Amino acid sequence: MAAFHAAGSAAPYAGLKVVELAEDVGGEFLGRMLAEMGADVIKAEPPAGSPTRALGPFAKHVESPDTSLTFWLYNSNKRSVVVDLEKGAEAALAPLLAGADIFIVTLQPARLKALDLDLDRLSARYPRLIIASMTPYGLTGPWADYRSSNLVALAGGGPLNMCGYDDHSIPPINPGGDQAYHAATAFAHIGVLVALLHRQQTGEGQLLDVSMHGANAVNQELGNPFWFYNGVNVQRQTCRHAQPVMTQSAMFACADGHYVYYTLILGDTRAWNVLVEWMDEMGLAAMLTDPEYQDIKFRQDNFHQIQELVECFFLVQDGHDAYLEGQRRGLPIGIMNTPEDLLDDEHLQAREFFVKVDMGPEQGEILFPGDSYRFSAFGSVPRRRAPRLGEHTSEFLEDVAA
């Protein structure tokens, strides 16, 4: 096994200077991804601070620009510089953009126009600069200045229609977790990488136009292929993949109140025999050991009885024990963790995924998610706390003056 985080090796984006003018978590997440791999990310904030500083929850229930947990998550490893764009945006950004490699900007066209901030003009002024524009609907088109949010993007792009419960009298359910923004971030990161490769070959920067609406329109798992090839819509289903037809439940309650996700594939004879052997060892296989259950069609015809027995089988076990034993036997089974369960997850602990970050004397040390990537040829970048509003303004001005 290769050694990860090679000692003394530079991080992947070491030496890159990034300016981030982001008003949503999508642009901020892209900045964080670049920062955690070594880029120097300078977050340009208005005097009142980034809008995400006002998003809760807040540390110790104290609302302030420097206590938002949302802001902490998306802005670690960055520097904060206050920039007043209302007094001449391009002039205010000039000290930041001079020598910058990447400019992340989430302002929509009308807002750019109001500030007289022309991205094409910036591209001409800074020919090596890669401008990553991330907006709800892109820089062009009839919806370019429409307002959006994570939920609006999931709805308009289509993924929301696949999220919910078996009972279709209940409307679709927001999956949460800023997934619409994250989808746009993933596409933007890929685009930035391609632009960096192009610049390496030609010396030229470029303008990258990323639409959150477009990113989510192709982020529909099975929804698109079923429609394109079969002309059918998938149906939302409780805790399982949306399919054109309703499938059996894959969530099983356990004795300790936890759930396991077990994919009961009746057509897989090997997996079927492993499950029946396990159930038989616990005295719960009942008639499933009868010869007729070796026939796939028979199993399918008697699915409901099988499902009920499997439900009983898991109800007499603790979730974690069933998960580990099922995996030991090679079955596709997983434990459903709550967020707080992850802090005690033995696998994440063994990989030292969560890291302590010093938040200062008022907050002390708290746990943050660790590296999103592990490279055998690059060094690791220590996780640093998110910057306080304007924390690095004086430092940056001194650097510029020097």
- pLDDT, residue 4, reads 63
Quick: pLDDT tens for 168-177: 999 999 988 8
> What is the mean predicted confidence (pLDDT) over 84-96?
95
pLDDT surpassing 70 at residue 33: yes
CA quadruple 159, 165, 169, 175: dihedral sign = negative
- pLDDT, residue 288, reads 97
Domains 17-219+355-401 and 247-253+259-335 belong to one CATH topology: no
> What is the mean predicted confidence (pLDDT) over 140-153?
97
**Residue spans per domain, the chain:** 17-219+355-401, 247-253+259-335
**CB-based contact 159:219 (threshold 8 Å):** yes
pLDDT surpassing 90 at residue 400: no
pLDDT surpassing 60 at residue 3: no
Angle at 39 between CA 37 and CA 40, to 5 degrees: 140
Q: What is the full DSSP assignment across 80-118?
A: EEE--GGG-HHHHHHHHHTT-SEEEE---HHHHHHTT--
Quick: pLDDT tens for 276-305: 999 999 999 999 999 999 999 999 999 999
With tokens 């802090």, the residue in question is 343
Mean of the per-residue pLDDT values for the chain?
A: 94
5 pLDDT band, cuts 50/70/90, is: low
| Cα 240 from Cα 114, distance rounded (Å) | 46
| Cα 381 from Cα 360, distance rounded (Å) | 19
382: Cβ–Cβ under 8 A, 6 or more apart, which residues? 355
| Cα 339 from Cα 357, distance rounded (Å) | 19
**CB-based contact 11:37 (threshold 8 Å):** yes
Structure tokens given for 360:
């200062």
Which numeric CATH code is attached to 17-219+355-401?
3.40.50.10540
Which numeric CATH code is attached to 247-253+259-335?
3.30.1540
With tokens 């076990």, the residue in question is 317
Comparing CA positions, the residue from 344, 347, 365, 348 lying closest to residue 356 is 365
Structure tokens given for 23:
């008003």
Comparing CA positions, the residue from 153, 172, 162 lying closest to residue 216 is 153
**CB-based contact 34:43 (threshold 8 Å):** no
- Pick the more confident residue, 9 or 352: 352
111: Cβ–Cβ under 8 A, 6 or more apart, which residues? none
Structure tokens given for 149:
């949010």
- pLDDT, residue 285, reads 97
Quick: pLDDT tens for 188-222: 999 999 999 999 999 999 999 999 999 999 988 88
Comparing CA positions, the residue from 307, 308, 316, 325 lying closest to residue 266 is 307
104: Cβ–Cβ under 8 A, 6 or more apart, which residues? 18, 19, 20, 21, 22, 27, 30, 31, 132, 134, 188
- Bond into 57 cis (ω within 30): yes
pLDDT surpassing 80 at residue 26: yes
Quick: pLDDT tens for 348-395: 999 999 999 999 998 999 999 988 788 889 988 999 999 999 999 998
pTM (predicted TM-score): 0.92
pLDDT surpassing 90 at residue 17: yes
**CB-based contact 367:355 (threshold 8 Å):** yes
- pLDDT, residue 221, reads 85
Would you tell me the crossing angle of helices 179-202 and 150-157 to the nearest 10 degrees? 80
Quick: pLDDT tens for 104-125: 999 999 999 999 999 999 999 9
